[in-house]
A and B are shown apart, each in its own frame.
Chain A
Amino acid sequence: MTIRQPYVETSPPVSDEVRKTTCYMCACRCGIDVHLKSGKVSYIEGNRDHPVNKGVLCAKGAAGIKQITAPSRLHAPLRRVGPRGSGAFEEISWDEALALAVSWMKPLRETAPEKLAFFTGRDQSQSLTGFWAQGFGTPNYAAHGGFCSVNMAAAGIYTIGGAFWEFGQPDWELTKLFVMFGVAEDHDSNPIKIGLGRLKERGARVIGVNPIRTGYNAIADDWIGITPGTDGLLILALVHCLLEAGKVDLEYLSQWTNSAYLLDETEGATKGLFVRNAESQPFVIDRRTGMPASWDAKGVQPDLGAVWQGHRTVFQHLAARYLAAEYAPEAVASRVGVSALRIRQLAAELARVAFDEAIVVDREWTDFRGNVHASMVGRPVSFHAMRGISAHSNGFQTARALHLLQILLGAVETPGGYRLKPPYPKPMEAHPTPHFEVTPGKALSGPHLGYVRSPEQLALKADGSPARIDKAFSWENPFSAHGMMHMVIPNAHAGDPYRIDTMFLYMANMAWNSSMNTSAVMEMLTDKGEDGEYVIPRIIYSDAYASEMVAYADLILPDTTYLERHDCISMLDRPISEPGAAGDAIRWPVTEPDRDVRGFQSVLIDLGAKLGLPGFVDASGAALYRDYADYITQHQRKPGVGPLMGFRGNGEDVGRGAPNPGQIDAYIANGGFFQAHVPDEAAYFKPWNAAYQDWGVAMGFYETPQPYLFSVYAEPMRRFQLAAEGHGHVQPPEAMRGRVRAAMDPLPVWYAPFGDAAAEGFPLHALTQRPMHMYHSWGSQNAWLRQITGRNFLYVPTKVWVDQGFSDGDWARVTSPSGIITVPVAHMAALNENTVWTWNAIGKRKGAWGLDADAPEAVEGFLMNHLISELLPEQGDGMRWSNSDPVTGQAAWFDLRVRIERVDARTEALPQFGVLGNPGGAVQKSVKIFGKDFEKSLGAGGEGAA
């Protein structure tokens, strides 16, 4: 038959123009090509040249086009006119809005700067927001890291001078065995997926340690369905096996770690600290001479087995601890939910790949001691871990344990192992300590957040009470390097440690998915004192969309969407570096806002100028910067070093160089990002590699080379133990000595998550996971993404499913020690038998996010947060500690314990709250009342909100 078929235009024009910027449907920061047809965004795809995503996009990024047209977008500044939470607002002009904000803030700065608490969520402009808060002079500033994953960051910095999270990555090209602990998605969304793809391509082995077998763990060759909160035990059992068999990298330990330092054995104030020489430097015993030698002496061979005047090395203490029978697989198996045999098999596999399948990259390099190495020997075993480990109250120690395991295998910063991304590695000592002393009308003496080395550096007032509203850097959690955003509202409401006046929040949905005990938090935000005033007097909030939090603010500063503003993904903040290259990037307005909104950073800079904050005005008091774009190019943190490292000076300087007015255009021309590549000979062994250290100085990461040894033994922690034992002039309150003593163990330990204390009658662990295609609460406003997941179920393991006689379509009441929810259930077999879970932040408040009040997200969708308390049950002394890691204050989301019972099928999940209206929508200058029926619909009896 003759071929007759319709003509198809196979080469249609794709678009009029492509603008390259950075995605912000999540914090991964992939490069995007934004296609425009007659000025309108028509299509978004990945930028092939971009180091982060190499052309790919995730489901969110590819759906970005629906974000910038979402009906939830805020349209203009709003001032509250009805009661808080009722959501009654009136639209006001920017002049009015800024004047109002200044009238609230200025008096505070002049009298009591600490009464302004400025906390930020998902944003990535912490170097600006922190700088602003420092200029304002309040100690109460932090980003969201405290409820996110500070355990990862802090354990990493205190151990290897870098961390998991997004600060390093496996050597995807060379690793042969990759083990994931508690990872569902992480910030490196696309890089991890690309990496997993590479491993699969090369046939490398992937092992997933996770109670739930979805996503990354679904494609893992091997799944270890561990019992939540017990990873530390599993890891230390692996350490036990490796030591027992002598399968540890002794050369690596002696050369690159503090394993050969001597620990003071003399009873008293120095016990357990490093033995120091006259120059108060820790030293090592040189195997060649048997004599003390400086740790960084050329050719030194530190002796792991040395005993000096009765003082033994860290290595011997370590061996003594982990060789003990309590860490034998047989002793931990039942607790961990993994058979002893399986644990021993894993240890054997790690050892085999690390040592029998070692790889050699023949590339000469010189270490900081001046020793030249002919080649780079690598141990092709790599690990990644995230909140499955860090979101537990034993997360810091567990993360430390995992780093210890990596170190024993010699698999950090070696080929095939785990590699850090510039500006990391960086020793803890190179980080600032916390600054918090308040002087009215003056700036803080230094940055808020940092890494404490000893009790003297805690953020405590003279009377020993916490200096910060979130109690960060207090005895409750000495290493809270990211602050504790999850405690701000509860503490401010309780007036503990003191009362504040204005809470200034940015990009954090604190009235919903980012708070523990959400229902109570909503009450705290609306609670009034005897005087009839709000207990938290003023709340200013910047959001771009009609989130649940918007209704709880007094003043809304509406932000632009990510395609409508300048942003800076900076080396001073959270850059887009690769192990082999430093990288930073920008966003720029690829399309103009069609609403009366402004980029928050520009607004903040404007406020800074109006308040006359140092760093934002010149001597004459005139504003230093026009807007954020101007700040990005002109601002210098130290001479020659600014927010962007590329195209400085005449356009050729990298890292250091004078400000270049053409810098942003140069970035745009370059695809929106810039990369500076690490020299080949500096690619591995970075902390000890002279070539890397010199490169780091040239780049402006630090002023002088900063070589250091990995801290198998964390001496700063020992200092806190000593204080708890009664030494030194800064000591913990009596009631806390025991806790500090136990938590601050300088060698990794495992202790049961605090959640287990209240586990009686709550046999199940309850978890959440990130859906790969949703970003926290924002995904649901996206017309495409919400069709994929518009409601969530509680996934129940087979054992429980059968015991409870569940069947499809059933509902259950889920009870925790602090709350109750009633939700739809579904069966899952590939799940730890004592664990239930759901997708995070799918549940929405009725009417929020520009969705109809009967949207499934709000009707059947639910949050786990109602079950999680921000405080632990009362202690013996009636004191209540926060539900956080005792070392860092990291929110212990995953300590949650519950029980579930089948209930009659229903149509609505509980708890339910009043319907919010949409503060987005058409811009008209009129009072918007959208607090339709606002009384809480608390179901009868147990079924209501906690």
Chain B
Amino acid sequence: MHPAPSVILFTVLSGLGFGFLAFLTLGLVQPQGLAAFLSFGLGYALAVGGLVASTFHLGQPTRAWRAFSQWRSSWLSREAWVSVAALLACAPVALRAMGGVVPGGWGLIAAVLCLGTVLCTSMIYAQLATVPRWNHWITPVLFLLFALAGGAILAGLRVPAGVLSLALAGMLMTAFRLGDGRFAARGSTLATATGLGSIGTPRVFEQPHTGGNYLMREMIHVVGRKHSQKLRAIAVVSVALPAVILWALPGGIVSNGLAVAAHLAGALAARWLFFAEAEHVVGLYYGQR
């Protein structure tokens, strides 16, 4: 799939933001006054920024509001609802936190909505049978772990952040390994795509058009093996790095900053691969597999 920057940013930032908000609304960190204002502000900025970024890849951004209509069937629609609900639910918690009040049950609801948003986002991809690599339980798990690890790092919870980062790194490696086998496991081939397998072995003779088209730009993206191996390593190491940083270095804004930077770098690399390495079955028709 085409790794569109807007979508990569959207998923990474909003994931991070909602993760952080979850920690705040659960009261696992309890900044006071200005600190609270800044923390919630950051959480909101990331989450909303991400959502805004997501509209950049729409053909008709002005109609984005319509995306709320199909919650019954569409994960994208559900994401819209849950994200708005989450943002609203966080507001009172934030206000009270600035006043120094610890979030109570209401905070719990807000946190659930925040993580629910991340789950919905992940399900948009996980539901697609046409992209075997995504179409797996590990996709939501991965998205949630990204949110939690990122959130914990921002929250400065050194121990859980380290643990979550290592878990994430592990899960990421598993995802890469599982993912590589998914397309073959699904069993779609040019033979099943054309039904010509009954005669013999099909191969592309001529493409339908020598000119390009939307499908090929959007759904057929080939990454060199070397390139992806490098990026995979970078991604895994970067998401694990916060554990080392947070445990080895003395606490403080510097080490936290480094940890966040490492996590973000890993998340972006991982998310770029998430799209770039995902193969859509339509590629079969074009002999791209």
Contacts and interface: CB of A to CB of B under 8 A. Distances in A.
A787 B208 CA distance: 9
B210 A791 contact: yes
Given A790-B211, A791-B210, 4 more contacts: A788-B208, A788-B209, A790-B210, A828-B205
A748 interface: no
15 contacts: A786-B211, A787-B209, A787-B210, A787-B211, A788-B208, A788-B209, A788-B210, A788-B211, A789-B210, A790-B210, A790-B211, A791-B210, A828-B205, A830-B205, A856-B210
Contacts of A830: 205
Q: Which 5 A-B pairs have the closest CB atoms?
A: A787-B211, A790-B210, A787-B209, A791-B210, A788-B209
A508 B205 CA distance: 32
A120 to B, nearest CB: 32
A613 B153 CA distance: 96
Nearest to A791: B210
Interface centre among B205, B208, B209, B210 (most CB of A within 10 A): B210
Contacts of A856: 210
Contacts of B205: 828, 830
A326 B205 CA distance: 39
A679 B169 CA distance: 86
Nearest to A790: B210
A828 B211 CA distance: 21
Interface residues of B, number: 5
A828 B205 CA distance: 7
Chain B residues touching A, majority SS: loop
A856 B210 CA distance: 9
Nearest to A787: B211
A856 B211 CA distance: 9
Nearest to A1: B72
Contacts of A787: 209-211
Contacts of A828: 205
A791 B210 CA distance: 7
Interface in A785-812: 786-791
A248 B229 CA distance: 72
A394 to B, nearest CB: 31
A732 B225 CA distance: 71
Contacts of A788: 208-211
A62 to B, nearest CB: 16
Contacts of B209: 787-788
A619 to B, nearest CB: 59
A835 to B, nearest CB: 16
Interface string A827-843: 01010000000000000
Nearest to B212: A787
A781 to B, nearest CB: 15
A720 to B, nearest CB: 46
B224 to A, nearest CB: 14
Interface string A80-107: 0000000000000000000000000000
A790 B211 CA distance: 7
Interface in B179-211: 205, 208-211
Nearest to B72: A1
A828 B204 CA distance: 10
B69 to A, nearest CB: 11
Contacts of A791: 210
A52 to B, nearest CB: 27
A790 B205 CA distance: 16
Contacts of B211: 786-788, 790
Nearest to A788: B209
B283 to A, nearest CB: 15
Contacts of A789: 210
B272 to A, nearest CB: 25
Interface in B204-246: 205, 208-211
Interface string B90-123: 0000000000000000000000000000000000
A49 B209 CA distance: 32
Contacts of B210: 787-791, 856
B200 to A, nearest CB: 11
Contacts of B208: 788
Nearest to A856: B210
Interface centre among A788, A791, A856 (most CB of B within 10 A): A788
Interface in A282-332: none
Contacts of A786: 211
A786 B210 CA distance: 8
A788 B211 CA distance: 6
A550 to B, nearest CB: 25
A217 B252 CA distance: 76
B210 to A, nearest CB: 4
A670 B27 CA distance: 86
A302 B205 CA distance: 55
B21 to A, nearest CB: 35
A722 B209 CA distance: 56
Nearest to B208: A788
A21 to B, nearest CB: 29
A830 B206 CA distance: 13
A856 B205 CA distance: 19
B136 to A, nearest CB: 30
B197 to A, nearest CB: 17
A787 B212 CA distance: 8
A137 B210 CA distance: 49
A830 B208 CA distance: 18
A213 to B, nearest CB: 10
A769 to B, nearest CB: 12
A838 to B, nearest CB: 12
B207 to A, nearest CB: 10
A854 to B, nearest CB: 14
A830 B201 CA distance: 13
A787 B211 CA distance: 5
B204 to A, nearest CB: 10
Interface in A764-791: 786-791
Interface in A666-707: none
A92 to B, nearest CB: 37
A830 B210 CA distance: 21
B34 to A, nearest CB: 50
Interface in B32-68: none
A239 to B, nearest CB: 35
B102 to A, nearest CB: 44
A788 B205 CA distance: 14
B217 to A, nearest CB: 14
Nearest to B210: A790
B212 to A, nearest CB: 9
A786 B205 CA distance: 18
Interface in A195-226: none
A618 to B, nearest CB: 55
A790 B209 CA distance: 8
A856 B209 CA distance: 13
B17 to A, nearest CB: 35
A788 B212 CA distance: 10
Nearest to A808: B287
A255 to B, nearest CB: 47
A862 to B, nearest CB: 13
Interface centre among A787, A791, A830 (most CB of B within 10 A): A787
A300 to B, nearest CB: 55
B100 to A, nearest CB: 49
B279 to A, nearest CB: 18
Interface in A821-860: 828, 830, 856
A791 B208 CA distance: 12
A789 B207 CA distance: 9
A356 B205 CA distance: 40
A239 B208 CA distance: 42
Nearest to A792: B210
B199 to A, nearest CB: 12
A928 B209 CA distance: 35
A790 B208 CA distance: 11
B209 to A, nearest CB: 5
A5 to B, nearest CB: 13
A745 B210 CA distance: 47
A381 to B, nearest CB: 28
